[in-house]
Chains A and B, each alone.
Chain A
Amino acid sequence: MLLLVALTLLVLLTARHEASRVQDQTDALAADVAAQVRSELLRMQQGLQALPSQAAPAERWHADADELLRRNRALLRIERRSAQWQISDSANSAYAPPLFSLIGRSEMDVEAAAACSASRRSAAPMFSRSYFVPLPGGTGFEVLDLCLPVLDGGRNDGYQLATVSLQALLSGALAPEQARRHEVSFVEADGARLARAGAARGRGVYRAETLVDLAGTTLRLRMDSAAGPPSLIPNLATGAVLGLSVLLVALALLLARDVDRRARAEGLLAEALAFRKAMEDSLITGLRARTLQGQITYVNPAFCAMVGFTAEELGKAPQPPYWPPELAEAYAQRQAARLAAGAADAARSREGFETLFMRKTGERFAVMIYEAPLVDGHGQHTGWMSAVLDVSAQRRIEDLSRQQHERLQATARLATIGEMASLLSHELNQPLAAIASYASGSLNLMEQPDADTPALLRQALQRITEQAERAGRVIKSVHDFVRRREQQREAIGVDLLLEAVLPLVRLQARKSGTRIDTELPQPAPRVVCDRTMVEQVLLNLARNAIQAMEQVSDPAARVLRIRVRQTHERWVTFYLADAGPGIDRELAARLFTPFFTTRSDGMGLGLSLCRTVVEQHGGAMDFDSPVPGTHAGTEFRFTLPAAPAAVSAASADNETRTVAT
């Protein structure tokens, strides 16, 4: 801005200076020309004075006059007049058309007469006012008469009269190079131009006027420069400086804007980075970036907190340290397959998958992983970004709720038996308690018998009888109940039985990392059974097996094998084998005893109830420890009656499966 002001000022000053220079020149020139004019006129006057007087012969006068005319081009005519104002002689300039050819001299000598009379009075040369002498062809001269009184001993003896062309006077006074650049003119007071000289036309910008004082008259001389007003860029240097300055300013402006923009962009970038960092840090979702080779390149704090390893440890490890060692091989294969799948399969990865990770403490926990391809600036697929959710807490809650559900379901299934037992005990307790009371009371009475004793005893015995009958009725109703359940048996595919319980079993198995292998012949055999009860038996045995393996240190060894075989035309055998520590001989003897349990929270009814159920179906239940053919674990077996051979279509499309959990 300052620069701009300075520049403008510079330009203005330069222009002003230029203008004043031209003006000064013009002024000086005007003065010059005026002086020139004056000296010219003086020379004419001297020349005129040198002319012979009235007394001299006409020839001499003519010769001198002609000589004078020739020397002074501005002189148009010279006259010699008598004291009586008679023209005695006259000579016209050879360089101009003869004056007074159109109008006679006598008609145009008013000004001259005035001048001469003045000169006579003052006895000094006197100039007349200028006047216009028309010429044929519409032209004419603005002229001026110079009257010189010829004095002869103080007596007026006629006049020498010279007529001067103002135009020629100016031309003579103006140097040729000045004439090219200036217009010079005599003007009247009102500005009317009398005569002009100079090649150029004045622009009216720089003008100077000066007065040429002559005896008898005053001429107003005007000098008008042909130079226009100074242009804004008066010279090359100023132009160059100006141009460069403008360029510099423009550059500076551009630079400033660029710097500003850059600073703003940097600010935005820093802000975006901070925002991203805060976002990553605040996430409870773990983030993990991997190259296509599986090398970890980035993890966020949440991920580190989740697995318990630092980012450095994770970045350096050749194989993710959060892979449980027993599953590392399977994970490596899976990772290879997944990483090789390419970005095109990203949609599949989007759905996420669940897997098991290990914390630094060795604790296994379930995670949900969602992956998206990492694509660099060139559109190259360079790796994978994974969002890792710790779902162990969720799984725990799910497990808990499912366990509760399972327990509820188990309770519901057991309800028939449990309720029966409860009802039975209550129903039998009442009469038994009463009987005991009456009996004890009777004994009390008999110790000290008195008169009332026999009657009281009879009463007591009668009540005892009543209560005993009541107990009998209770027992009978239980019997009826059992018979009713027998009628609920149906033929059902073994696969359907397993399908009903496997989800619950898997749930429990996952908690301890137990694998479940099921092996079914094809087509699946069908059994006749009370479905609800048999499902309960399967569930009980599976749960026992899983719990038995909880102490097994190697998680890979935790396998529950469930096999079903048609061992006889009329019998189907179920095998459930675990890899637990087995059952020692002492325990084995009491295994099926009701209310025997090794667990603090167990009711001890499981196995005995299972056996009761199986036996109610006509089957048998047994176990071997260790599992036949191995030296560890326990295998429970039970048989159920096979359905008459009619293979259902429903079970035909099921094949022998191995399910890994």
Chain B
Amino acid sequence: MSLNLDPSLGLPVVYLVDDEDVVRDALAWLLRSRRLLSEGFGSAEAFWQHLQAQRGGNADWPGAPLCLVLDVRMPGTSGLELFERLAEAGLLPALPVIFLTGHGDVPTAVAAVKRGAFDFVEKPLSNNALVDRIEQALERSAAELTRRREQHVQARRLAELTERELEVMRLVTEGHPNKRIADELGISVRTVEVHRARVFEKMDVKSAVELANRLRDPPA
């Protein structure tokens, strides 16, 4: 299986956070054999600082699909603590987390998954299966990025609409005919039609149904 992502989203990166150098190196090596770029960190703190530096002032973060492979148990800040921090900061959708668990940590990991972690993998790792999960995580991250971009575009489009156009759009999406909209707003049917055409144009849609769909479901 190979990863098939929109190249415009940027080169996907896998973050490896594990205090065991050996494990990290071996995993990086494995990822490389699957042509995946990885970055290793020896502690949760080191990764957190890196992440802060990346995000700092960068509204477009993340610039590429990401995935975090995180060891549960680590000296200093544990993987779980780091996870909580990421969850609090609302970073999980763009940065899916896959936990690496040792013996006896399975219940913890299950709980983490319930709270939003992408998955957990028990050590010793079933290697290519892990990489498969990592790729799925990257795909989710990419989907999130796409969604954000489209949301961005839609926000921009909505921003272009005038007040009167917004009103017309609301009534159109509620399913009212032009006549009724004209009565409601106290303007002529002709004017409504003009507004309506402009809304369609600005929102880049062809019909009222399409418009309604776009507004109801934020692009996924």
Contact = CB atoms under 8 A, between A and B. Distances in A.
Interface of A: 422, 425-426, 429-442, 444-445, 456, 459-460, 463, 467, 470
A438 B30 contact: yes
Nearest 7 pairs between A and B by C-beta?
A437-B26, A440-B127, A441-B33, A444-B33, A434-B26, A441-B30, A433-B124
Interface stretch (B17-25, B45-53, B108-116, B134-142): B17-25
Contacts of A460: 29
Nearest to A424: B103
Contacts of B22: 430-431, 434, 467, 470
Interface centre among B23, B25, B29, B103 (most CB of A within 10 A): B29
A434 B127 contact: no
Nearest to A428: B124
A440 B20 contact: no
B147 interface: no
B130 to A, nearest CB: 9
A124 to B, nearest CB: 158
B164 interface: no
B125 A437 contact: yes
Nearest to A434: B26
B23 A430 contact: yes
B102 interface: yes
B123 interface: yes
Interface residues of B, number: 20
Contacts of B123: 429, 433
Contact of A426 (B25, B34, B102, B128): B102
A429 B27 CA distance: 14
Contacts of A445: 33
Contacts of B125: 433, 436-437
B127 A436 contact: yes
A463 B26 contact: yes
A225 B30 CA distance: 157
B32 interface: yes
Interface string B1-36: 000000000000000000010110111011011100
B102 to A, nearest CB: 6
A438 B26 contact: yes
Nearest to A470: B22
A393 B120 CA distance: 43
Contact of A434 (B25, B34, B104, B128): B25
Contacts of B128: 440, 444
A433 B26 CA distance: 8
Nearest to A467: B22
Contacts of B25: 434, 463
Contacts of B23: 430, 433-434, 437
A461 B124 CA distance: 18
B65 to A, nearest CB: 21
Contacts of A470: 22
Contacts of A437: 23, 26-27, 29-30, 125, 127
Contacts of B103: 422, 425-426, 429
A440 B30 contact: yes
20 contacts: A426-B103, A429-B102, A430-B23, A431-B22, A432-B124, A433-B123, A434-B23, A436-B125, A437-B23, A437-B30, A437-B127, A438-B29, A438-B30, A440-B33, A440-B128, A441-B26, A441-B29, A441-B30, A441-B32, A444-B34
A425 B33 contact: no
A477 B103 CA distance: 20
